[in-house]
Amino acid sequence: MRTASSLLSFLAVSMFILPPMAMADGYSQPQDYQPPAYRKPADGLVAGYYGKSCPDMEGIVQRAVKKAFAADYTIAAGLIRLFFHDFAVGGCDASILIDAPGSERYAAASKTLRGFELIEAIKTELEAKCPKTVSCADILTAATRDASREVGVGYWTLVYGRKDGRQSRKEAADKYVPVGRESVTDLVAFFESKGLNVRDLVVLSGAHTIGKASCAAVKPRLCKSKPETLDGKYGDFLRRKCRRGDAEHERVELDGVTPTAFDNGYYKNLERRMGLLETDQKMLHDSRTRSFVQEMAREPEEFKRQFVESMRWLGNVQVLTGSEGEVRSKCSTVNY
């Protein structure tokens, strides 16, 4: 069920019974976990949605993600970011996957998105096993969860039943997806419009503990930052790194200390004045977000626990269910 909202975003599921085979290292919810009342899944999303129609749905997704991660560990950050971009523009309806002139995929903020081929490959396998059954929105949600698991976040259970949208507009992504220079006020307003809170904002920003950003996204921070918000040696490193090559294609690790580990190093870096993006560093200096940054810097396991909670909810926001959407035969195009 969609809810109206103002949009502006950042950077990426749901809930219930934990299958025995799903246990993994890291945080996982107990069997009897019940979400807060205000965070119940949308009507139409249920556990076991594909239990009869496509019983190996989760297994197919998990195996594909595991294989892709073994070949390229950076796919995890790519999928989380892809999932968040889908959520940010119009909710979790797989609109970001549509490959058509004028779609979200062709927005400036989408230029460096990755994971499209993996999602399409999973869809192809599922269509062979369970034709016209599993939505692309559910595939993206499950793949993001499994990618997060691969980097050590832990496993969380999902509800399914999302349907795919039929609209995808480049201008919407251009308007609402951020470029790393938004104010904390803008970001808080966006999250609150989605039923998320300041804690969710800070916790989900922690996904920047893995992945990279382009020098084009970094340069505004180098030009405008004051010494008290940017470590001098780190600033010098970034200037050297981004001086050479194409700013759009030269990449810098979001977490320069532990770039391949999903840990709370992102928050520690903010305390060291080593946040890569301007929007990240601002969170240490804003009274609404500072205490959460400091808490996550002190409590690595609490960060992972909260990340699971926020991601669980993210996949329930503004979903299409029932007759509100469709199940695409191919994720990159709507049905005709």
Query: For the whole model, what pTM was predicted?
Result: 0.86
Average pLDDT over residues 8-17: 32
The pLDDT, as a whole number, for residue 31 is: 40
**Annotated binding site for Ca(2+), which residues?**
86, 89, 91, 93, 95, 104, 209, 255, 258, 263
Q: Which pLDDT score, from 0 to 100, does residue 247 have?
A: 67
Its CATH class, for the domain covering 196-307, is mainly alpha
- What residue numbers does the annotated binding site cover? 86, 89, 91, 93, 95, 104, 178, 208-209, 255, 258, 263
- Residue ranges for the binding site for heme b? 208
Quick one: which of 327, 319, 12 has its CA closest to 164? 327
Place of tokens 């609402």: 176
Decide if 187 contacts 154 (C-beta within 8 A): no
Query: Known binding site for substrate: residues?
Result: 178
Mean of the per-residue pLDDT values of the chain: 87
Domain ranges of the chain: 20-28+38-179+312-324, 196-307
Please give the pLDDT value at position 243: 83
DSSP-based three-state secondary structure for 74: coil
Tokens of 197: 């809170």
Of residues 336, 331, 281, 335, the one with CA closest to residue 126: 331
Q: Is 330 helix (H, G, I), strand (E, B) or coil?
A: strand
The answer, yes or no, to whether residue 232 has pLDDT greater than 80, is yes
| Cα 336 to Cα 331: distance, rounded to the nearest angstrom | 13
Q: Which residues pair with residue 163 across a beta bridge?
A: 320
Tell me how far apart the alpha carbons of residues 306 and 296 are, in angstroms, rounded to a whole number.
9
Residue in this structure with the two tokens 């062979």, named with its chain if needed: 128
Cβ atoms < 10 Å from Cβ of 51: 11
The pLDDT confidence band at residue 259, using thresholds 50, 70 and 90, is very high
Phi and psi angles of residue 284, each rounded to the nearest 5 degrees, phi first = -75, -25
Confidence of residue 83 (pLDDT cuts 50, 70, 90): very high
Specify whether the CB–CB gap between 234 and 274 falls below 8 A: yes
> CATH classification of 20-28+38-179+312-324 is 1.10.490.10, yes or no?
no
Catalytic position from the list 85, 105, 163, 268: 85
Q: Which residue has the tokens 């107990």?
A: 30
Q: How large is the average pLDDT for residues 148-152?
A: 95
Instruction: Tell me whether residue 249 is one of the annotated catalytic residues.
Output: no
**Rounded CA gap, 167 and 188, in Å?**
26
CB 209 within 8 Å of CB 192: no
3-class secondary structure, 175: helix
Closest by alpha carbon to 39, among 317, 277, 257?
317
